[in-house]
Structure 1
Amino acid sequence: MTEPLIELKGISKAFGKNQVLDNVDLQIYKGEAIGIIGPSGTGKSTILRIIAGLLQPDAGQIYIQGQKRDGLIEDGADTVGIGMVFQQAALFDSLTVDENVGFSLYQNSKLERSRIRQLVNEKLDMVGLPGIGHLYPSELSGGMRKRVSFARAIMSNPDHPADNPEVLLYDEPTAGLDPIASTVIEDLIRSLQSIQDVCSTYCIVTHQESTIRRTADRLVFLYQGKVQWQGKVSEIDHTDDPLIRQFMSGSINGPIQVVG
């Protein structure tokens, strides 16, 4: 089998006495669209942050194209660029859209500002938001802010193509959006996957059924800190696994413990 782009082996993470991840194995292959699902508080966002190199696991190893990662992302460059879209967009309110999207290039590259603005405009076009670089986040709708965060995540540096994102991590990208805005975001996630020289591989955390069905090809179900089930999206309607059946039906009766 082809070597995975990213592989987690025996990853564990606790916050105080709360064991969030417990000996988790996960492989992400080039061109995959993986959905990580499960009840709230089961470590889905935590695993994204560990993959991104923003959070250190307590135990286990992370391999990027077969090379073991030591430390966090600032401790050494990965062989694969990884971009992350945060749940609340995480834009800087005091900066314009242009400054948000081009932030890493403005801060860390030697490119002329005019060239950075050109690259920003290209990315805004890709997410369907041309001509809004002068606006501030407060002037945008929730769906527009999400798309701006997508543009920032796929920003590339032509002088250092090795640093350009090859894998995107989406943390609840449709949370808080109405059904129509959610559909726009879901379509955008799929369309970005098909654009040449933009990330063809992504991992998405979501609770929304439409997002699960429309953006993922393979699903990983997390519960009580462990991977309890994996399979294709097409299998969720036919599996006899009681965890999946309860989760997808929203029933309060079943092996998933209802808090409160």
Structure 2
Amino acid sequence: MPAPNLVTAELTLTGRITTASNATFLGSIGGTAVVYKPIAGEHPLWDFPNGFLAHREVAAYLVSQVFGWNVVPHTWLRDGPLGHGMVQLWQEQDPDQNAVNLAATDHVPETGWKHIFEGRDENGRMVTLIHEDSPALRRMAVFDVVVNNADRKGDHILAMIDGRRHGVDHGLTFHSEDKLRTVLWGWLGDALSADELDGVDRVSAGLHGELGRNLADLLSAEEITSLAARCARLRLAGRFPAPSGEMSAVPWPLF
């Protein structure tokens, strides 16, 4: 749970993130910078018609906590100037780092990066979607499989100065059908590490305890059952999955 003052102290709006598809504001609670997404400003997609996106954001944080990898910044529900909504601690990312990038195909780094696919930019030049090959990003990819993230864009990955990688914008998660859309396909088919398998096991076990009880206030019973099934399938396979179904395997836009 967040500190009591972060729940009860006044939330003051300081700006708006105009590039977001849903109403998203910058705010301050007693000098602590936060992101605030009121439920009243949500515009759910046609394939996510049920429940609140804010609830899914908080559910993603709770699962992240049980994984123990600090993928999602501290996220909670509270009232604000525009009503009840999701609040998340603001993260100051390093402007000189990009965990995901589009590189000219003839200048793609040979080491340290995973190549996803090639295409042409608006000027007809060949470019390649790449992401870094790091333990932090692997953990985020595992997390995305478990929460069924349908919108892991490149800009939803915050590269921090100290090497940490935070994932944000988790409103399109936990669908009962397979909706995985992500730019993090670099480890497709690779075996999960012991640490990654242990994380999946912690989430599976948590669904029978406190995590399951907390998620029951945020997700439907069908969504929680599907979450448990994804954990079981991933644990049995022991490998990063391949895309499935006919829909795009990557979000659009990519960033």
TM over 0.5, yes or no? no
Higher normalized contact order (CA 8 Å, seq sep 6+, divided by chain length): 1
